[in-house]
A and B are shown apart, each in its own frame.
Chain A
Amino acid sequence: MFRLTREKLELADLIDLVTDPEAGAIATFIGTTRNNNDGRKVIALDYDAYPEMAEKELARIGDDAKRQWPICRMAIVHRIGPVQITEASVMIAVSAAHRDAAFAACRFAIEEIKRTVPIWKKEVYEGGEIWIGTQSGQRFE
């Protein structure tokens, strides 16, 4: 399953989705929102996405991973909208017969998300906000 959500993420839901009788391993990754970046104190984060394309790209990552490693199932869920500091912004779970494929595909998935999926993070600071990747935003007076 590959989707975006405004709801809080639950790792147990992803593990259920990839549970498979052929699997001997499940690897998971959780991306969390931290309270600092480049020396700035981050007070809030807000994710925007091009939803139809982002979900297609997430599914494409799953297809590519299946071609490269012998995995059973993959699930990726990404938050959009406001995300509180310490909460998860993305979760990935991959099941495979053996751990090497599960770890490798999980790593591949997060790297691909950061490279190609049309999702954008805005960091809000005391005194301004920035769309990460563009280094553009606005200063609050």
Chain B
Amino acid sequence: MNVKVKFFAILRERAGVAEAVKEIKSGSTVRDLWENLQRDYPKLAVPGIRLLYAVNQEYVTPDRVLKEHDEVVFIPPVSGG
């Protein structure tokens, strides 16, 4: 099944793309997807930062199981204001 991943801020720069469609195994979690993405984008991980996770525009925990067509975003530390 496919999910859509969007990259923002530092992660977009490191991925080199703003979004991607990724095929994953049924039962995959957000954490599994992040690990898979490391292979596609070797420079993606930013050492020493803590990521938060969003599925369909809601914060979730990394053990959230993904569904077909979910929109997944990895959220580096926010710095609005």
Contacts and interface: CB of A to CB of B under 8 A. Distances in A.
Interface of A: 31, 47-50, 52-54, 56, 78, 89-90, 110, 113-122, 131-138
Contacts of B76: 120, 131, 133-134
Q: Identify the interface centre among A110, A131, A137: most chain B CB within 10 Å of its CB.
A: A131
Contacts of A136: 10, 46, 49
Contacts of A31: 81
19 contacts: A47-B80, A52-B57, A53-B58, A53-B73, A54-B80, A114-B78, A114-B79, A114-B80, A116-B78, A119-B80, A120-B9, A121-B80, A131-B10, A132-B79, A133-B76, A133-B78, A134-B9, A136-B46, A136-B49
A54 B73 CA distance: 12
B77 interface: yes
B80 A50 contact: no
Q: Identify the interface centre among B49, B58, B59, B81: most chain A CB within 10 Å of its CB.
A: B81
Interface range for B: 20 to 34
Q: Identify the interface centre among B9, B59, B73: most chain A CB within 10 Å of its CB.
A: B9
A53 B8 CA distance: 12
B79 A133 contact: yes
Interface string B40-81: 000000101100001001110000000000000101111111
Contacts of A52: 57
A119 B80 CA distance: 5
The 7 closest A-B pairs by CB, nearest first: A119-B80, A133-B77, A120-B9, A132-B79, A53-B57, A133-B79, A131-B10
Contacts of A89: 80-81
A124 to B, nearest CB: 13
Contacts of B31: none
Contact of B78 (A119, A135, A137): A119
A87 B59 CA distance: 30
